[in-house]
A and B are shown apart, each in its own frame.
Chain A
Amino acid sequence: MGPTLITTLIMMTTPVEEKASAQELTVEPPPLLELRDVTKSFSNRIHILGPIRLTVEEGEFVVIIGPSGSGKSTLLRVITGLTDATSGEVIYKGKRQWGVNHKAALVFQSFALFPWLTVMENVALGLEAQGFSKPERYARARRYIDLVGLDGYERAYPRELSGGMKQRVGLARALTVEPELLCMDEPFSALDALTASNLREQVLDIWLSKQIVTKAIILVTHSVEEAVLMGDRALVLASKPGRILADRPIALPRPRRLKSPQFEEQVDQLYSLIV
C-alpha cells in the first residue's frame, strides 16, 4: 500500500480533462475564458440565469455587479465548474471545460475555511490535494501567508481570527494554488466597512504590482463603488433571470480616489443602469 495506492487513487479519480472540441486554427490566441450562451435552471422550472455571452481576456479585472437574485454567485460557480451549465458552453483557453476547473480558484463570501485546520493547513490544502510534499507546500503557503499579511498566525485556528483575517486566509488559500483565474464571490460583504476597505486596497495592490501569476480576476459584488474602485470592466446583471444588461469599461486612471468627480460620475452612470 502507501504511495502507489495513493497515486492510483489520484489517477483513477482525476476527472476526464478537457475533451478537445474541434476548433479551427486561429492566428490569435484564444481568450482566457469564454461563455457561449450559458444558461442555468433548477429542476426545469426555475430559470435563474442566462443566456450569457461573455469573454474575459488575460490581464483583465472584471467586476460583475447585480442586485440579489440576479444569479451572480451561480454565474461564478458555472465559470469555476462547480456547477454544470444547463445549456451552453464554458470555454477555457479555447477548450471546452468539463467539471471543476482547477486552473481557477474561488474566494467565498462566507470564507469557507476548515474550522479544524490551522491557517497554514488551510492555505496549503490545495497543494496537499495535488500531492505536494509537506515541506514544499508549507514553503509555498508561507509565501502567500506573508503576502496577505498573516505572518505570525500560521498556527492559529480560523475560530481565533477576526473576519478580516479569515478572509485573508481565504485569499491566501486561493492564491497558493497559483490560479490563472481568480474568482471572488462578494469577498468583502461579510466584513465591516473599515476592514473591507483595507482588504480591497491590499487585493488591488497584489494584483497591480504583479506579485502573483494570476492572469485575470472576476469579482462579484453588489456594491457599485467597489466595482468602480477595483475593476477594468463592469458587467451589470439584471435579475430574474440573470442576464447581462451592460458591459462597460472603467477607464479611470489608478490609483482611484473614492470622492473624485470622475469616480462619482462613473458610479452614477452604473447606478442609472441598475435602477
Chain B
Amino acid sequence: MWRKTANPVDIGIGLLVIALAIVLFRDGPHVYSLEQPSLDVSLRYLPFYTMASVARMIVAMILSLIIGLLAGYLAAVHKRWADLILPASDILQSVPVLGFFPAAVFFFIRIFGSGAIGVELAAIFLIITSALWNLIFAVYESITTIPEDLQLASRQLGLRGYIQWTRLVLPAVLHKLAYNSMISWANGWYFLIASEIIVIGPIHYRLPGLGSYLAQTMSTGNYRHAVYGLIVLTVVIVAFHLVVWSPLNHWSVRFMVDTAETRVAPQTRRRSVLLFYMTRSRFLRAIWDVAVRPTIEGILWLIRPLLERERTRRGSVIAWFIFAVFLGAIAWGVSGSIMQLTRPAPLMYDIPSALILSFLRLIAAYAIALVWTLPAAIWIGRNEEISRRVLPVIEIIASIPATAFFPLIVLFILRWGGDMNLTSILLVTTGMQWYLLFNLIAGVRAIPEDLQQISDSLGLAGFTKWKRLVLPGIYPSLVTGSLTAIGGGWNALVLSEYVVAEGRVYSVHGIGALLDYGTYESGNLQLIVMSITAMVLFILIVNRFFWQPAYHLAQRRFALNY
C-alpha cells in the first residue's frame, strides 16, 4: 500500500538521523581521540559519548546476529558442524570478557593498527564476546525444534535459498532470537565498561563513550557528572526497550510454532500503535530491500557450499579453509598458552585458592538470587494480571547494567560497615538473578492449567503441592536458569571482585580479581592465560559432573511433554 500521509516512524527516524549528524560533526572532531589520558567529562559532550557507545553496541549486535544465525543454522542442519560449533560456543561463553583482551589487543590492534579502526574493532569484538553465545544456542534450538511436517512441507513446496530463509528459517527462529537478543543487548551494556577501556599493562586505549565516561567519573569521584551519565544511560536503555525490544518481542509471539506455550499468546498479542507504523515504514522497508535482503542473499550464496549434502569441490575447499583457520587459531592459542603455562608466573600459586573462594562467592550469590527469585517467579507466573503489569517494569530494570553502579554500591556498603567480600557477592548476584527470574517465570507458566486444576481438586496444598506439582514442574527451567545464571556469575566475577572507586582499588582475593590484576595492573600474559585456563577447566568439570546429569534428569523425568 502506498500511503499518502506521512508515517510517524519515518519522521522520527529522519529527525533522529539529523540530530545524530549534528552531534557527530559538531563534537566528533573535538573529543574523538585515543591519545588523551582522560576524557573531557563536560556535559556538552555527553550526547556524543552516548552516540558512540550506542553505535558500537548496534554494530556488535548486528554482527552477533549474523554470526549467531550462521553458526546456529550450520549446527542445526549438519551434524559435523554441530560437533564443532556447540562445544566451542559452550567453552567460549564461560570465558569472561577480560579473557578476550589479549585476542582483542594482539589480533585487532596488531592487524589494523592502534588507530581508530583497530581499537574500535577490538572494542566491538569484546562486546560481541558477551552477546553472541546465547544467540547461537537460540538459533540452534529453534531450528532443531521446527516440527518435522513443516520441514517436509517446505521441501515438498520447493522452498530454497532466500525464500526458504524468509518463509521458514527466520520466522521459526524469530521468537527465541528476539528474546535472546534482548538478553544479549543487556549483557553487552553490562560489559560495556570493560570493553571501552582496553588495558593490558602498558598498552592503554580509552575509547570515548558512555562506558569510559562512567568509569572515569566514578573512579575519580566526580559524582555530579557520574549521575548525569547514569541518567543518560538509563534513558537510553529504557528508550531502546520501549522502541525496539518490547515491540519486537510482542510481534515475535505470532511466530511461535504451536506448542503449549501459545496459550499465553492471546493476552500478549496487544495492538501496538508503534508496531503498526513500523511495519508500514517506507524507511525500514528500504533498509530491508537495500541492506538486509542483499546481505541474506550474499551470505546464503557464500555458505551454500557448506550445506550441500554431497561434497562439492568448492564446499570442501571452504570447509577445509575454515577448519584450517580454526585449527591454526587453536594451535596458536594452545602453543602460546603452553609457553605461558610452563613458566612460573608471580601469584600463580594463588590460583587454586582464588578459584575456590570465587566459587564459594558464586554459590552464596546464587543462593541469594534463588531466595528472592523463586517466590517472585511463582507470584508473577501464576497470575496473568500481575505478570502483565509487573513484567514490563522488571524487564526494564533488568536491562539497566548494574555494573555502571558498582563503584557507588561498593562505597555505600563499605560506608555502612559491610566488607568487600559481602559487597562482591552482592555484585555477582546482579549478574545472575535475572537469568533465574525469567527462566523460573517461564517454568511456572509452562505448568499446564489442567495439572493445576487436578491438584486443586485433589486437595494438594502447602508442602505437598510444592513437592508434587510446583518443584517438579519448574525443575527443567530451574536447571536451565541456574546453568545460565552460574555462567553469567563467572563472567561477572571479573567486574565484582575488583572495583575502582574514588581513585582507589577495592578488591578481594579471587580468580576474577587475579585476572583483573593480571590484565590491568601487571599486564602479565602468563597470569591471564593461567587464570583463564584454570577457570575454564573448573567450569567444564562442574558442567560435566553436575549440570549435565541434572539436565538429563530434567529431560528424562520432568519434561512436560508426555
Contact = CB atoms under 8 A, between A and B. Distances in A.
> A and B from one assembly?
yes
Interface of A: 1-2, 5-6, 9-10, 12-13, 77, 80, 82, 100, 102, 104-106, 108-112, 114-117, 125-126, 128-130, 157, 159, 173, 177
A185 to B, nearest CB: 9
Contacts of A9: 160-162, 297, 300-301, 304
B385 interface: no
A110 B156 contact: no
A82 B162 CA distance: 21
B150 A114 contact: yes
A61 B445 CA distance: 47
B158 A116 contact: no
A12 B304 contact: yes
A110 B161 contact: no
Contacts of B300: 9
A126 B168 CA distance: 13
Contact of A106 (B150, B156, B254, B262): B156
A116 B297 contact: no
Given A13-B304, A128-B167, A173-B157, 7 more contacts: A9-B161, A80-B156, A102-B156, A110-B147, A111-B149, A129-B160, A177-B157
Interface in B154-200: 154-163, 167-168, 171, 174
Contact of A115 (B154, B163, B258): B258
Given A114-B167, A115-B256, A129 B149 contact: no
Contacts of B304: 9, 12-13
Contacts of A105: 156
Nearest to A185: B149
B297 A110 contact: no
Contacts of A159: 254, 258, 262, 265
B162 A77 contact: no
B167 A125 contact: yes
A5 B301 CA distance: 9
Interface string B329-341: 0000000000000
B298 interface: yes
Contact of A117 (B167, B257, B258, B265): B167
Contact of A1 (B153, B256, B265, B297): B297
Interface in B236-279: 254-258, 262, 265
A12 B307 CA distance: 13
Given A115-B258, A177-B157, A128 B163 contact: yes
A88 to B, nearest CB: 21
Contacts of B255: 115-116
7 contacts: A82-B156, A104-B156, A108-B153, A114-B171, A115-B258, A128-B163, A159-B262
Contacts of B155: 82, 100
- Shortest 7 CB-CB contacts between residues of A and residues of B: A112-B149, A112-B153, A126-B157, A116-B171, A129-B158, A9-B161, A116-B255
B162 A6 contact: yes
A128 B155 CA distance: 13
Contact of A129 (B152, B157, B294): B157
With most chain B CB atoms within 10 A of its CB, the pick from A105, A108, A114, A128 is A114
A15 B294 CA distance: 24
Given A115-B257, A125-B157, A157-B254, A82 B163 contact: no
A112 B147 contact: yes
A2 B296 CA distance: 11
A125 B159 contact: yes
B327 to A, nearest CB: 29
B396 to A, nearest CB: 27
A231 to B, nearest CB: 23
Given A110-B147, A117-B167, A129-B163, A6 B297 contact: yes
In the complex, which range does the number of interface residues on chain B fall in? 20 to 34
A177 B153 CA distance: 13
A10 B156 CA distance: 15
B146 to A, nearest CB: 10
Contacts of B258: 115, 159
Contacts of B168: 114
B161 A6 contact: yes
Contacts of B161: 6, 9-10, 13
Nearest to A77: B152
A129 B147 contact: no
Contacts of B301: 5, 9
Contacts of A5: 297, 301
Interface in B103-124: none
Contacts of A104: 156
Contacts of B167: 114, 117, 125, 128
Contacts of B254: 115-116, 157, 159
Nearest to B151: A112
Contacts of A82: 152, 155-156
A126 B158 contact: yes
Nearest to A176: B157
A1 B300 CA distance: 13
Nearest to A179: B156
A77 B155 CA distance: 11
Contacts of B156: 80, 82, 100, 102, 104-106
A108 B265 CA distance: 25
Contacts of A112: 147, 149-150, 152-153
A108 B150 CA distance: 9
B126 to A, nearest CB: 32
Given A116-B171, A116-B254, A102 B297 contact: no
A108 B152 CA distance: 10
Interface centre among B154, B155, B158, B257 (most CB of A within 10 A): B158
A104 B158 CA distance: 11
B482 to A, nearest CB: 31
B265 to A, nearest CB: 8
A62 B152 CA distance: 22
Contacts of A2: 294
* B156, B265, B297 — most chain A CB neighbours (10 Å): B156
| Residue among B157, B254, B265 facing the most chain A CB atoms (10 A cut-off) | B157
Nearest to A108: B149
Given A100-B158, A114-B167, A115-B255, A106 B152 contact: yes
B263 to A, nearest CB: 11
Nearest to B258: A115
B315 to A, nearest CB: 12
Nearest to B174: A116
Nearest to A104: B156
A150 to B, nearest CB: 18
Nearest to A127: B157
Contacts of A116: 171, 174, 254-255
Nearest to B156: A106
A271 B481 CA distance: 54
Interface centre among A6, A102, A115 (most CB of B within 10 A): A115
Contacts of B298: 1
A77 B154 CA distance: 13
Contacts of A108: 149, 152-153
